[in-house]
Each structure stands twice: as structure tokens, then as C-alpha cells.
């Protein structure tokens, strides 16, 4: 069976978990305190990050490379559409969320509020939290604009772009940092993706010291 070394609220791990579950690849989850840079873990991934996916003799890191691998090795159901143009748009949006959204929102909110306490690196820096709270509005508006033109974020079919976005938003929703009233289109999109069987394990996550709000796992939030 595959084994994923992960951290429950890491959006990069959640994106891989969603891909694995959607493709019905059975996988054991192993929580990794990656910030402690344990020697065994560094042997698995010299970059010292999660996710790390073990499949047979293969040990893989870097969430983008892992998701492309899963897409090529387990093509059904497809999370990348056919056609270079459509695939470009999916990959552009995956980078948008994993790069820009991550730097402007996830780092400023989730990492300040949760990771600092978990990793013992001090109190949240309030100017960062404020920047994150401001930036998420702009990103939700961008998603709203996309979803008014498309059924899913990158086009007519659900794709890795939706999983990347849902991975970040679900981690932020765990700490009540998403204003679902800002856009009905975004709320409807999240309700649809949240109700997929692939999302169940994510809704069951629990980080000691940080209980999720009641709406977090509620499909009718």
C-alpha cells in the first residue's frame, strides 16, 4: 500500500491526498513533524518538506511533481483535461494557488496562527495576519470571477486546479479564516467539492490544540 508522510493542515499534502483519493489509490497516512528535521525523514526527502509519498520502492517529494506522476501512472479519473491549452490553464491555476495564494494568504494566516505555535517559533506577527486577511478577499473575488465564467476553476471539468484551491481554502477554513458569504459562486463550488468522497479524510482531520469550528466538517455550512 502507498504511504504518505504528511502534515494534516498542509495544503500541499491535502492536494496530494485529494488526488490519491479521487483516483482510489489506497494510502496510509503518516503524520510527520517535518520541522524537527529528523534524520530518518531527511533520508526520505533531503528537501525536508512534506508531502513525501512512498509507493513500492519509489519515494517521491514535491507536490506538483507527485500530482503529475499520479496523473500519468493512474490516468483515470483524469484531473488534467485533454488539449495543451486546457492543461496550461489548469497548471497556471495550480501555480497561482501554490505560489501566489500561498505566499499572500496561507503563509500569513495559517502559518502565523497555527504553525508558529506548533513549531515553537513565537507569536503570530499581527501585520502579517492583517495582510493575509486583506489578500484573501482579493483572491476570493478572483475565484468568483472565474466561477462566473466556468463550471470549475479551470474550465468545464474538475481538475487539479480545483484541488489546489480547495486544499488551501479547507486549511484556512479549519481556522475559520474564509468568509463564505463573500461569494455565492465560491461557496457553491466549495460545497460541491467538499461533498466528494475524496474529501472525507480531510474533513476528519484534527490538530491537537486547534479544534476545528463546527461548520468545518459540515457539508451544509
Q: Alpha carbon of 179 to those of 100, 125, 176: distances in Å?
A: 19, 21, 8
Task: CB nearer to a second copy: give 96 or 111.
Answer: 96
Report the number of secondary-structure helices (H) and strands (E) in the chain.
Answer: 9, 4
Task: Please state, in angstroms and rounded to a whole number, the distance separating the CA atoms of residues 77 and 219.
Answer: 23
- Report the residue from 37, 46, 123, 126 that binds a second copy according to the rule CB under 8 A: 46
Contact 17, 202 (CB under 8 A): yes
> Residue 38, SS3?
coil
| Part in contact with a second copy (CB under 8 A); list of ranges 2-10, 24-32, 79-87, 117-125 | 79-87
Smallest gap from Cβ 201 to a second copy, in A, equals 24
Checking DSSP bridges between strand 27-31 and strand 2-6, what pairing results, if any?
A: parallel
With contacts defined by CB under 8 A, how many residues of the chain interact with a second copy? 25
Contact 29, 200 (CB under 8 A): no
Task: Please state, in angstroms and rounded to a whole number, the distance separating the CA atoms of residues 45 and 66.
Answer: 13
Is 206 a binding residue for a second copy by CB under 8 A? The answer is: no
Is 66 a binding residue for a second copy by CB under 8 A? The answer is: yes
Is 35 a binding residue for a second copy by CB under 8 A? The answer is: no
Smallest gap from Cβ 60 to a second copy, in A, equals 6
Smallest gap from Cβ 8 to a second copy, in A, equals 22
Smallest gap from Cβ 94 to a second copy, in A, equals 8
**Burial environment of residue 53 by CB neighbours within 10 A (0 to 12, 13 to 18, 19 or more):** buried
Task: CB nearer to a second copy: give 18 or 67.
Answer: 67
- Report the residue from 3, 87, 116, 117 that binds a second copy according to the rule CB under 8 A: 87
What does the per-residue mask of binding to a second copy show for 89-108, with x meaning CB under 8 A? --xx-xxx--xx--------
Task: Please state, in angstroms and rounded to a whole number, the distance separating the CA atoms of residues 103 and 96.
Answer: 10
Which parts of this chain interact with a second copy (CB under 8 A)? 46-47, 58, 60-62, 64-66, 68-69, 72-73, 84-85, 87-88, 91-92, 94-96, 99-100, 142
Amino acid at each position: 500500500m502507498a504511504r504518505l508522510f504528511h502534515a494534516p493542515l498542509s495544503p500541499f499534502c491535502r492536494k496530494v491526498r485529494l488526488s490519491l483519493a479521487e483516483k482510489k489509490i489506497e494510502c496510509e497516512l503518516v503524520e510527520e513533524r517535518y520541522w524537527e528535521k529528523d534524520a530518518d525523514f531527511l533520508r526520505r526527502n533531503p528537501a525536508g518538506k512534506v508531502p513525501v509519498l512512498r509507493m513500492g520502492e519509489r519515494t517521491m517529494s514535491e507536490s506538483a511533481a507527485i500530482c503529475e506522476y499520479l496523473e500519468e501512472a493512474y490516468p483515470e479519473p483524469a484531473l488534467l483535461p485533454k488539449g495543451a491549452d486546457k492543461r496550461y490553464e489548469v497548471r497556471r491555476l495550480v501555480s497561482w494557488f501554490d505560489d501566489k495564494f500561498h505566499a499572500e494568504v496561507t503563509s500569513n494566516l495559517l502559518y502565523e496562527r497555527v504553525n508558529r505555535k506548533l513549531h515553537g517559533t513565537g507569536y503570530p506577527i499581527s501585520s502579517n495576519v492583517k495582510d493575509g486577511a486583506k489578500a484573501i478577499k482579493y483572491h476570493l473575488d478572483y475565484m468568483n470571477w472565474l466561477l462566473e465564467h466556468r463550471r470549475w476553476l479551470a474550465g468545464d471539468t474538475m481538475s487539479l486546479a480545483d484541488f489546489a484551491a480547495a486544499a488551501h481554502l479547507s486549511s484556512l477554513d479549519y481556522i475559520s479564516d474564509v468568509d463564505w458569504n463573500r461569494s455565492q459562486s465560491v461557496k457553491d463550488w466549495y460545497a460541491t467539492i467538499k461533498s466528494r468522497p475524496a474529501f472525507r479524510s480531510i474533513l476528519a482531520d484534527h490538530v491537537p490544540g486547534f479544534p476545528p469550528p463546527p461548520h468545518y466538517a459540515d457539508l451544509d455550512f
